[in-house]
Amino acid sequence: MSFFDEVDEPRTEPTPQRRRRNTGGGRRPPSRRPPSGRPPGDQQAIRLRRAIAVAALVVVIILVVIGVHSCQVSSRNNSLRDYNNNVATIIQDSNQTGKQFFGVLSNGSRSGGAVNLQNQIDEAGVTAGKQLDRAKGIDVPGEVKTAQQNLVMTLQMRDDGITNVAQQIQPALSTATSKDAVNNIAGQMARFYASDVVYKSYTLPLIAGALKNAGINGQQFNGGQFLPSLQWLTPSFVAQALHVPSPTTSNTGTAKPAPGLFPETGAPRSGDGVRHRCDDRPWQWPVHPHQGGLLPGAEIPAHAAGPVVPGHRL
């Protein structure tokens, strides 16, 4: 064999072990940690933090709900207090207008003539109209909407009554038409009487009941009234105040009510468990058996927060 034949001997290939070592040298050994990549202690801490955050969020929501509810209750109670105060003020002013009205009417012809007397009554009517507008404009909580309707009715009757009386003053002081006009004036007094009934028997109990249901105590009510005496329901008393001849007297000389005021029972009288009166004393229960509510002489029942008198606090 020649020298060159020895050089051409076959070369040995690298062993597979070396190739595996060369190609696999950059791989890392498989990890023994959980698939999440976090140790078990970290996962427990995360779950705990999440539970605390949820609990804190629930507490915050509860506090917000309680706070909102407290604000709503406080706002409602303040609205009821304001409403009661507004009603008391308006009724006080209205009753003062009634005193002015009946004071002028009691002077009759001594007020400077029929025209001057009518003008003074018209002024009282203007004031009554403003009081009615004030009542219509006050804020009314939902709990006393029915009471508000009754209040407006009360003041509407007073306004209408004064206006109608003013229209009858000149005829009442005239010799030719005195009788009919005096009867009409006495008939208008029934509006004032009815306004007191509606206010004391329906408006006040509803307001007092709403305040009591809301847990509001110490509120003052105005229990005054517009009509100073039931005598004004009789034409003879009206005629006496106006210094004109009395249009209606009985054979015994006792006064009769204006025609149409009491067609079945006559003039107001005691009976059926009701005492009719017009003053500031407490009204007493029960109701008239033929009526749907209290009449003068009837007291607000216990479930409607007790009797209401001037200066009385619930």
Q: Which helix (H) or strand (E) holds 176?
A: none
Rg (CA), the chain: 44
What 3-state class would DSSP assign to 197? helix
How much is the pLDDT for 55?
82
| Nearest alpha carbon to residue 242 among 177, 159, 289, 313 | 177
> DSSP secondary-structure letter at 255?
B
Cα(185)–Cα(229) distance, rounded to whole angstroms? 15
pLDDT of residue 36: 54
DSSP-assigned beta bridge partners for residue 205: none
Question: Residue 107: its pLDDT value, please?
Answer: 81
Which residues are paired to 249 by β-bridges? Answer: 255
Q: How high is the pLDDT of residue 288?
A: 35
**Distance between CA 291 and CA 293 in Å, rounded?**
6
- pLDDT under 50 in the chain at which residues? 3, 250-255, 260-314
Q: Could you tell me how many residues make up the chain? A: 314
**Is the overall model pTM greater than 0.75, yes or no?**
no
Instruction: From residue 230, give the alpha-carbon distance in Å to each of 69, 160, 194.
Output: 49, 19, 11
Spatial distance between the Cα atoms of 167 and 164, rounded to a whole number of angstroms? 5
For position 64, what pLDDT does the model report?
A: 74
User: Rounded to whole angstroms, how far apart are CA atoms 68 and 74?
Assistant: 10
Q: pLDDT value at position 12?
A: 58
Q: Which residues pair with 220 in a beta bridge?
A: 313
Q: How far apart are the C-alpha atoms of 121 and 242, rounded to whole Å?
A: 13
Amino acid 71: pLDDT: 67
Position 56 scores a pLDDT of 80
User: In sequence order, what are the beta bridge partners of 154?
Assistant: none
Cα torsion angle, 214, 215, 219, 222, sign: positive
Query: What pLDDT is stored for residue 276 in this prediction?
Result: 36
What are the CA-CA distances from residue 45 to residues 39, 50, 86 (Å)?
10, 9, 61
One-letter amino acid identity for 134?
Answer: R
Instruction: Report pLDDT for 16.
Output: 53
pLDDT of residue 224: 85
Angle between helix 145-172 and 40-107 (nearest 10): 10
Q: Which residues of 30-46 are buried (b: 16+ CB within 10 A; e: fewer)?
A: eeeeeeeeeeeeeeeee
pLDDT at 120: 93
